[in-house]
Amino acid sequence: MAPRFLLWMLVLLVLAGCGDNSEVKFPEMVGAAKDFGAPVTGDWLVLHTLSDPEQLNPLTSSDAGSSEVLAYVFEALLTRDPRTLAFKPLIAEARPEISQDKLTYTFKIRKDAKFQDGRPITGEDVLFSVKAIKCPFVNAPFLRVYYDSLVDAHLVDPYTIRFSIKEPYFLNESVLGAIAVLPRHYYDPDNLLAQVSVRDLTQDPAKLPDAVKQFGEQFNRNYSRDPLGSGPYQFNFWKTGREVELVRDPDYWGNGKEGIDQPYLDRLKFRVINNFDAALIRLKSGSLDYMEVLQPVQHVRGTNSQRFKQDFRKYEYYAPTYTYIGWNNDHPIFRDKRVRQAMTHLTPRKQIVESVLFGLGEVVDSHIYLFRPEYDKTLKTYPFDPQKAVALLRDAGWRDTDGDGVLDKVIDGETTPLRFEIKINSGNAVRKSVALVLLDELHKHGIAASVRELDWTIFLNDVKNHQFDAVVLGWQMSTTEPDAYQVWHSSQAANKGSNAISYKNDRVDEILEQYRREFDEEKRIQLYKQFQQILHEEQPYTFLYVSKRVSAVHRRFQNVEVFPDGLRPIDWWVPASRQKYGSTLTSR
């Protein structure tokens, strides 16, 4: 009886144990910096991606997973120099001609650019791409909103397109330059959009012809999985939930051309692993080559062995996101700026960066990215000073009158304890730690705060409807020219806007409005410096820290460099002697 099942177990074990223990053998990694000569093509890059793309439609997908992949497949009119961040033409021949009144932009299109199926790119395709964005039946309302100011576009000649804008805004060049060029013959084979102009599309959707509606439905439904663009990498397959594969286009139009990024790697495989620990294990065992984001703990403890260092190189760099505590400026407790300043003094920001982030970050005091010229370096950071905080609170009227350990104050005739709730979204361990550390410090000084963790959609809802006392959140900062209007202008507080804390300052409003119309960079910088100084005094947020990111890349990849926007796998190549997956471009 017992032996019988043992036999079965043995069979199973044998079957399982027969598996390959090392998937592909590593070529020997010897020596450090060696000159491998000129870049060659070949080999694959297996990247870690945290979540499966929702879909691979260039316009309707909005998640991080898809944009990561589509960035290699599609190209836009302009791009940015990775180092200087200056505009560089891509599909366009040069930067646009801008009219005196800043309301007309004219782009000339390259004549040698082609799509991945060999067909040339013409003005018609660019016009189509614009119409697709503006089409109200295409499921991309949040992208469309950025092009609200674009009221018309038409072709001056087959290779020249002219845009008409509603109001002057110095970032319009960036917005127009970012239009992804889609092949009309692929995404609209029946030319359904030919009959309407861009101006027509801005009118009442009900008056549009049926063909437009048909296009929208078709576009939404049939193009989620097979993107076709003009970029250096073509879509090969997508195993849902597991992997997306892109293959280098050997006939890429940009091959050998100056000023265009040259691709070398034959395949890009995006492996979906939604768990960081599992991903690190796969990195170490050879089934991943590149992890863009290592968790702080993994960086400090899990990736420092001899063997790891032999196989991988780590890169530490600033990520343009910052985390903050947002105080609801309409809340009776937080209306007083002294209370807000006290909170900042009570937050051990440096200690948090050291202990919670393992040093992977830096304390910041402003909304602007650290490396932008607009950043005000003269801001004096608020030190961690509980004494000062208690003094500020006392000034503001808070003291413990009933000996229960909690500060209180008489507000509207009632003795109110200094009690409030900090909301955070679930699934973010770092923010949770930040909230808990703050909580502990607050409790020590008589402030009865509590933390509430909410599911993302509920949390988002509460934030937008201003149902919170305090929140821990983050913003993505732009490495290119910033625009703080959406977050800090008082008009953005109503109607679920991004000014969720209801911040209102007339001078700041003025500055933000003036800034948008200012085309002179120096003057813009001055304006924003004033803006940051006001915020610094008022502390509507307690700015916490800007994050640092650590990436791990297998050593065989050459030309790996850190740029303001991070790493650029498109530049990487592997010398022939070290290639792991060979250099055949045959498909599976």
Partner 1 sequence: MTLNRTEAASFKTIDSETSSASAVLSRGLWSDVWKRFKRNPIALAGFYVVCFLVFIAVFADFIANDKPYYLEYRGKTYFPIIRSYMVDVELGRWPAELLNVDFKKLEGAKAVFPPIPYRATGINLLEPLEPPSMRHWFGTDKLGRDVMAGMVHGSRISLSIGFVAVGIAVIIGVILGAIAGYFGSWADLVISRLFEIMLSIPTFFLLITVAALLPPSIFLTMAIIGMTSWVGIARFTRNEFLRIRNQDYVTSAIALGVSDRNVMFRHILPNALAPVIVSVVLGIAGAILVESSLSFLGIGVPAQLVTWGSILREASGATFAWWLAVFPGFAIFITVLAYYLVGEGLREVLDPRLRGLR
Partner 2 sequence: MTAYLLQRLLLIIPTFIGITLIAFLVMRLAPGDPAELRAAGGLGAAAGAGISVEKRGAVDEAMAQWRSQYGLDQPLHVQYAVWLKNLATLSFGESFKDNQPVWNKIAERLPITLTLNAWSIIVVYLVAIPLGIYSATHPHTFGDRVTTLAAFVLFAVPLVWAATMALVFLCGGDFYYLFPPGGLESINFSDHWPLWQKIKDHAWHLFLPVVLLSYDGFAGLSRYMRSSMLEVLGQDYVQVARAKGLQEKTVILKHVLRNSLIPQVTILASILPGLIGGSIIIETIFSIPGLGQLGYESVLARDYPTVLALLTVTAVLTLIGILISDILLSIVDPRIAFGRRLQ
Among 428, 479, 480, 559, the residue binding partner 2 under the rule CB under 8 A is: 428
Q: Are 562 and 315 in contact (CB under 8 A)?
A: yes
| Complex with partner 2: residue 202 or 526, whichever CB lies closer | 202
Amino acid sitting at position 312? F
Q: Are 325 and 542 in contact (CB under 8 A)?
A: yes
Helix, coil or strand: residue 126: helix
Which of these ranges, 10-18, 95-103, 127-135, 525-533, lies near partner 2 under the rule CB under 8 A?
10-18
Question: What span, in angstroms and rounded, lies between the C-alpha atoms of 523 and 292?
Answer: 37
Tell me, by CB under 8 A, how many residues bind partner 2.
86
Positive or negative, the Cα torsion across 474, 476, 482, 487?
negative
| Complex with partner 2: residue 448 or 460, whichever CB lies closer | 460
| Complex with partner 1: residue 259 or 427, whichever CB lies closer | 427
Question: What span, in angstroms and rounded, lies between the C-alpha atoms of 283 and 368?
Answer: 34
Among 439, 487, 525, 527, the residue binding partner 2 under the rule CB under 8 A is: 487
Instruction: Kindly write out the interface string for residues 275-304 of this chain, putting x where it contacts partner 2 by CB under 8 A and - elsewhere.
Output: x-xx-xxx-xx-x--------------x--
| Complex with partner 2: residue 29 or 494, whichever CB lies closer | 494
Give, as ranges, the residues between 302 and 361 that touch partner 1 (CB under 8 A): 302, 348, 351-352, 354-356
Among 38, 84, 118, 142, the residue binding partner 2 under the rule CB under 8 A is: 142
Question: What span, in angstroms and rounded, lies between the C-alpha atoms of 186 and 117?
Answer: 10
Amino acid sitting at position 288? L
Among 79, 116, 234, 492, the residue binding partner 2 under the rule CB under 8 A is: 492
Applying CB under 8 A, does 444 fall inside the site for partner 1? yes
Among 455, 513, 521, 561, the residue binding partner 1 under the rule CB under 8 A is: 455
- The number of helices, as runs of H, and strands, as runs of E, in the chain is 19, 21
> CB neighbours of 107 closer than 8 A, spacing ≥ 6?
77, 92, 96, 126, 160, 161, 162, 163, 176
Interacting partner of 118 out of partner 2, partner 1, none (Cβ under 5 to 8 A depending on kind)? none
Give, as ranges, the residues between 135 and 154 that touch partner 1 (CB under 8 A): none
Nearest in space to 49 (alpha carbons), one of 262, 278, 343: 278
Q: Work out the angle at residue 352's Cα, subtended by the Cα atoms of residues 393 and 421, and round it to the nearest 5 degrees.
A: 50
**Which is it for strands 160-165 and 104-108: parallel, antiparallel or unpaired?**
antiparallel
> CB neighbours of 436 closer than 8 A, spacing ≥ 6?
451
Of how many residues is the chain composed? 588
Q: How far is the CB of 433 from partner 1 (least distance, A)?
A: 6
Interacting partner of 77 out of partner 1, partner 2, none (Cβ under 5 to 8 A depending on kind)? none
Q: Which two tokens stand for residue 357?
A: 């982030």
Applying CB under 8 A, does 135 fall inside the site for partner 2? no
Among 17, 37, 241, 403, the residue binding partner 1 under the rule CB under 8 A is: 403
Applying CB under 8 A, does 385 fall inside the site for partner 1? no
| Strand intervals (E) in 374-463 | 408-411, 414-417, 419-425, 448-454
| Complex with partner 2: residue 92 or 477, whichever CB lies closer | 477
Nearest in space to 154 (alpha carbons), one of 166, 141, 163, 143: 163
Give, as ranges, the residues between 52 and 81 that touch partner 2 (CB under 8 A): 54-55, 60-65
Applying CB under 8 A, does 273 fall inside the site for partner 2? yes
Applying CB under 8 A, does 129 fall inside the site for partner 1? no
Among 18, 32, 86, 206, the residue binding partner 2 under the rule CB under 8 A is: 18
Positive or negative, the Cα torsion across 401, 404, 408, 413?
negative
Q: How far is the CB of 75 from partner 2 (least distance, A)?
A: 22
Applying CB under 8 A, does 448 fall inside the site for partner 1? no
Applying CB under 8 A, does 306 fall inside the site for partner 2? no
Helix, coil or strand: residue 85: coil
Residues lying near partner 1 in the complex (CB under 8 A) = 276-277, 295, 297, 301-302, 348, 351-352, 354-356, 400, 402-405, 424, 426-427, 429, 432-433, 435-437, 439-440, 443-446, 450-455, 458
